[in-house]
Amino acid sequence: MATTTSDVQIDIDAHDAHHGPEKGLLRWVKTTNHKDIGTLYLWFAFTMLLIGGAMAMVIRAELFQPGLQLVEPQFFNQMTTLHGLIMVFGAIMPAFVGLANWQIPLMIGAPDMALPRMNNWSFWILPFAGVMLLSTLFMKGGGPAFGWTFYAPLSTTFAPESTDFFIFAIHMLGFSSIMGAINIIATVMNMRAPDMKLMDMPLFVWTWLITAFLLIAAMPVLAGAVTMMLTDRNFGTSFFDAAGGGDPVMFQHIFWFFGHPEVYIMILPAFGVISQIIPTFARKPLFGYSSMVYATASIALLSFVVWAHHMFLTGMPIAGQMYFMYATIMISVPTGVKVFNWVTTMWRGSLTFETPMLWAIAFVILFTIGGFSGLMLGIAPADIQYHDTYFVVAHFHYVLVTGALFSIIAAVYYWLPKWCGRMYNEKLARIHFWWAVISVNVLFFPQHFLGLAGMPRRIPDYATQFADFNMISSIGGFAFGSSFLLLTYIIVSCIRSGEPIEDERVWESAKGLEWTVATPAPYHTFNEPPQKDKILSESSHVGAH
Amino acid sequence: MLSRRCSVCSADASSNRFIARYTTKFKVKSNAIASWLLISFFFLPLSAFADLGFNLPKGVTPVSQNIYDLHMTIFWVCVGIAVVVFGVMIYSIIFHRKSRGAKASNFHESTAIELIWTLIPLGILIAIAVPATRVLIDLENTDKAEMTVKITGYQWKWQYEYLDNGVKFFSNLSKDSRERSEMGKVGDYPDHYLQDVDNRLVLPVNTRIRFLMTSNDVIHSWWVRDLGVKQDANPGFINDAWATIQKPGVYRGQCAELCGKDHGFMPIVVEAKSKEDYAAWVKEQQAKQKAAAAAGDREWSKDELMVQGQKVYSSTCAGCHGVTGQGIPGTFPAIAGSKIATGDVKEHINIVMNGKAGTAMQAFGAQLSDSDLAAVITYERNAFGNNTGDLVQPATIKAAR
């Protein structure tokens, strides 16, 4: 530990050997190491996933049959609201930032993130924001009960007192996201191996780079929305109150101007993950790398000009409805290109089906189903019948659970052996996959029927004709929820006692700079940047695989 | 009470036999009854399989039928694309696997192919957008309406005003649904549980009806599937929609936009009648409204006030303040023992009639008649242990207006 400057200059390897992590718990508080922070993000996200999942279990238990059996409507609304907020801001987004922290420096041959201390800060804001958000449940009048979209005036004039804490928590989550995004952009732009051109970068890095720009553009808009709420609630303004000259629909415009890019923030990195995994197990370079990059960029640009498709029923002028309909269905073109590219990557490959590949294939199929229902929802006149029903609930759970979450699980199975130098239990992992993939469809597929049959979302009790599908959905929900106990066991036992791996290349056909460092990945990597020939031979999108 | 019907196989006996075999096979004799009950509990509310709705209904208006056709068109387009894409993928999964000795090719780029699968979907989208635009233009055109109904959303009920003939009333969740929906209630569900109201919106068939939607508090959304109408009701703004109902009948819906605690408990029932029946109904309503206004001019006895007061309380106040007047601590104040309901009568009348700014307490002066206000205030001052003995007469309310 007590190395002198000259030691470092003389022998970088020796420096590596005795500059490891600090001992004790303070290591995690003070750390500026991208791998440590990635780990912190991932464990935080996993904890929040379990908390948000427990709330989903409360929701599905109450909806198991008609009538109120377990929770009062007001508490039910708090559950749906916090489930959404925690899954979006606590689970999915931090999990992707965690993956970015671990993987981006490894994939671009960088020694660490560009701004390590800010990295520490952006993580450590999160637990405080999360705890503040959850603490509202124990306040007088209960937590936020106005849905994760918190439409005014339900979230202003008619909201519980704890709403001000909710606003503060959102502000803090926003700070964290923006700092994380700045760090990722700075890292990709400045820390990349000098010989790596932008179009040499793995697709996961590309999708995250684009996502980071989305975050910087979208999160301040959300901060603006909640700040206006704050002043409406406490300082006598009337941004969203018609009685004072404001407009409640303006809230929705502002919210969705953030909210629509937000949904792409949660799916673009998933596209990146899948684009890394499929070539590995198809033993074939990714088909259409550059079209994937352009498709990602065009999805990101389009995401800023389609927000009002969430608002077809707010009384928009017909010209507005037409424009937002056309712009929205346009998104299915670049998204389709991605799916076609993945399928073509598999075509005439030499496929094997290790667990990460199973999750990736499930992602492609189930995310595409979510895409189809998205296309249907984008058709303005048809949206009249779908809007605010369980059809929408089914749609966004297909893209966010079997989309975003499945890609995160795939990524963890794919990279965990590299991170900890141990293999997970393949047999248990397969059981977990089939358990989860079957139950998640039992959970969400019937919700399409419920929506078409006329069941609105966010209701704690329902008419008896919805009973059957709700019960099926709840049974699927309990099964899917319990699959995460198995996942916890698989991950913990892998880290603690999985079979040790020596190979640098954990998967025989994997390409990428992360597979050139030792296994488990040492605390410090790429003190010297990789050379051009190595970068090219490790590319997962050019040359022989 | 336990329904033993299994909806999946729609057979009673066979499922019973299966369960019986299952329970005995695993020798859980002592637990057999318990598991039986548990399994029955799982299947309790399952109705017959035929009741399951998988798809949108065609509905009874031109708009709803157009939407249905559009919905089916997009659905089949999606199915077609899915068959092709998933077909290729599944073929690849089966035939291009390493265990079959598949050798990986190395192709990874083709501008021509990328161009083809950009342009073909674009063509499909244009083909969908054309009919969608046609339907959209038609449903947004509310001209040439023969009558107009103004719909106002309240937490948690609807008000209907027939602008052409002056009929106006509130429509609340029906009493039996409200009672069944109390926490922990068991037993049979009433007919049309949670989709039944005290006063239906009665409309004539074959008439082009314009709806104007607005709200008194938060955003609601008025939705009746069979009419093809779903439109947000925004406070301070007015939206519109239209329908020509082609078939007499009863059509049910409910609020579609989260509007607070009882969002799930504000149903909509539309009853479409022939033009003649509708005209008769309007006459009847106008007579009723006259009678109600006259009732405000006479003295009421305490019993009369209490009976009417309980009725008004359960439809108008119980949603927030609770059937037993306990409210919800921290959110909705209790009536039982409250300072207002046991203190100065004037203050009580004032808060009921004018509401309380910045809270969910609405100004009921505009919603209820003199006699209903007098009755409900009297009721609140004498029920739930608030034995003030005060009587409030309709004349007092009239004076306070």
Strand order in the sheet with B239-244: B168-171, B157-162, B147-154, B208-215, B239-244
Best of B258, B262, B268 to mutate (most A CBs within 10 Å, chain A): B258
**Confidence (pLDDT) at A163:** 95
Region A452-460 average pLDDT? 95
Q: What is the ipTM of this complex?
A: 0.90
Chain segment A192-214, per-residue pLDDT in tens: 999 999 999 999 999 999 999 99
**Confidence (pLDDT) at B44:** 42
pLDDT of B166 over the 60 cut: yes
Chain segment B238-271, per-residue pLDDT in tens: 999 999 999 999 999 999 999 999 999 999 999 9
| Distance in angstroms (rounded) separating the CA atoms of residues A377 and B248 | 30
Which of A296, A335, A525, A539 is catalytic? The answer is: A335
**Confidence (pLDDT) at A11:** 45
Chain segment A386-395, per-residue pLDDT in tens: 999 999 999 9
Q: Are B243 and B228 in contact (CB under 8 A)?
A: yes
A158 and B257 in contact by Cβ < 8 A?
Answer: no
**Confidence (pLDDT) at A10:** 42
- The reply to whether A313 touches chain B by the CB within 8 Å rule is yes
In B228-274, where do the E strands start and end?
Answer: 229-233, 239-244, 249-254, 267-273
Q: Are A56 and A477 in contact (CB under 8 A)?
A: yes
The CA–CA distances, whole Å, from B77 to B69, B74, B369 equal 12, 5, 55
Q: Are B264 and A461 in contact (CB under 8 A)?
A: yes
Beta bridge partners of residue B221, listed in sequence order: B232
| Distance in angstroms (rounded) separating the CA atoms of residues A449 and B75 | 13
Burial B371-394 (b: 16+ CB within 10 A, else e): bbbbbbbbbbbbbbebeeebbbbb
* Residue whose pair of structure tokens reads 């995004």 in the numeric block: A181
Would residue A15 show up in a list of annotated catalytic residues for this protein?
no
Nearest neighbour of B104 by CB, restricted to A74, A147, A545: A545
pLDDT of A492 over the 70 cut: yes
- Which residues in chain A are contacts of B184 at CB distance < 8 A? 68-69
**Confidence (pLDDT) at A7:** 42
- The reply to whether A87 touches chain B by the CB within 8 Å rule is no
Higher pLDDT, B54 or B9: B54
Q: Are B214 and B234 in contact (CB under 8 A)?
A: yes
Chain segment A294-308, per-residue pLDDT in tens: 999 999 999 999 999
A346 and B89 in contact by Cβ < 8 A?
Answer: yes
Chain segment B380-392, per-residue pLDDT in tens: 999 888 888 888 8
- The reply to whether A287 touches chain B by the CB within 8 Å rule is yes
**Confidence (pLDDT) at A3:** 42
Q: What percent of chain B has pLDDT over 70?
A: 87
Confidence class for position B5, pLDDT limits 50, 70, 90: very low
* Residue whose pair of structure tokens reads 């969740």 in the numeric block: B173
- The reply to whether A495 touches chain B by the CB within 8 Å rule is no
**Confidence (pLDDT) at A20:** 77
* 3-state SS, residue A78: helix
- The reply to whether A291 touches chain B by the CB within 8 Å rule is yes
CA–CA min distance B263, chain A (Å): 7
Nearest neighbour of B139 by CB, restricted to A283, A329, A381: A381
Nearest neighbour of A350 by CB, restricted to B51, B96, B117: B96
- Which residues in chain B are contacts of A453 at CB distance < 8 A? 52-55
- The reply to whether A294 touches chain B by the CB within 8 Å rule is no
Chain segment A140-178, per-residue pLDDT in tens: 889 999 999 999 999 998 999 999 999 999 999 999 999
**A256-270, A492-506, B49-63, B81-95: range with lowest mean pLDDT:** B49-63
A77 and B256 in contact by Cβ < 8 A?
Answer: no
CA–CA min distance A351, chain B (Å): 4
Q: What percent of chain B has pLDDT over 90?
A: 53
**A214-223, A234-243, B166-175, B334-343: range with lowest mean pLDDT:** B334-343
- The reply to whether A142 touches chain B by the CB within 8 Å rule is yes
- Which residues in chain B are contacts of A469 at CB distance < 8 A? 52
Q: What percent of chain A has pLDDT over 90?
A: 92
Residue A327 main-chain phi, psi, to 5 deg = -60, -40
Confidence class for position B54, pLDDT limits 50, 70, 90: confident
Q: For residue B94, what is the nearest residue in chain A, using CA coordinates?
A: A351
Which of A62, A262, A514, A538 is catalytic? The answer is: A262
Q: Are A377 and A386 in contact (CB under 8 A)?
A: yes
Would residue A264 show up in a list of annotated catalytic residues for this protein?
yes
Would residue A260 show up in a list of annotated catalytic residues for this protein?
yes
- The reply to whether A469 touches chain B by the CB within 8 Å rule is yes
- The reply to whether A323 touches chain B by the CB within 8 Å rule is no
| Distance in angstroms (rounded) separating the CA atoms of residues B79 and A362 | 18
Region A517-535 average pLDDT? 93
pLDDT of B163 over the 80 cut: yes
Chain segment B286-309, per-residue pLDDT in tens: 998 888 888 778 888 888 889 989
Chain segment A318-338, per-residue pLDDT in tens: 999 999 999 999 999 999 999
B89 and A329 in contact by Cβ < 8 A?
Answer: no
- The reply to whether A337 touches chain B by the CB within 8 Å rule is yes
**Confidence (pLDDT) at A6:** 43
**Confidence (pLDDT) at A544:** 56
CA–CA min distance A383, chain B (Å): 9
pLDDT of A412 over the 50 cut: yes
Would residue A310 show up in a list of annotated catalytic residues for this protein?
yes
